[in-house]
Amino acid sequence: MVVTNRAADEPDIAAFLSQQSNVTEHFVVSSAIKYCLIASGRANIYPCFSRTMTWDTAGGHAIVKAAGGECYLLDGLTPLTYSASQIENPFFIANGNRVII
């Protein structure tokens, strides 16, 4: 299952989803719910291709990480990190089982 935000009709998300052969379900939900679904194992990934700031993602990222998942940059290898000098996040994918689809 893939979860996205209300911007799911953006071309980047549409292109990403069209390249995934094993996506069986796609739900549009709020940020807090997306992270909880990933952490609980009910959703597999949350691709974020929209503008977010550290305060939008840090709490959810911590929940996913505590459950054994991670938020990765689009390379699928580099964990999303935070810095006081860089408050805007790059695009990322939150993943609960470390397997990028």
Structural domain spans, the chain: 2-95
The span from the CA of 85 to the CA of 42, in Å, is 34
What is the rounded radius of gyration, in angstroms, for the C-alpha atoms of the chain? 12
pLDDT at 30: 82
**Assigned CATH topology for domain 2-95:** D-Maltodextrin-Binding Protein; domain 2 (3.40.190)
pLDDT, tens digit, 9 for 90 and up, residues 23-53: 778 888 887 899 999 999 999 899 998 889 9
pTM: 0.79
User: How wide is the angle at C-alpha 6 spanned by C-alphas 11 and 84, nearest 5°?
Assistant: 90
Tokens of 62: 């911590």
Helix axes 54-66, 31-40, angle to 10 degrees: 20
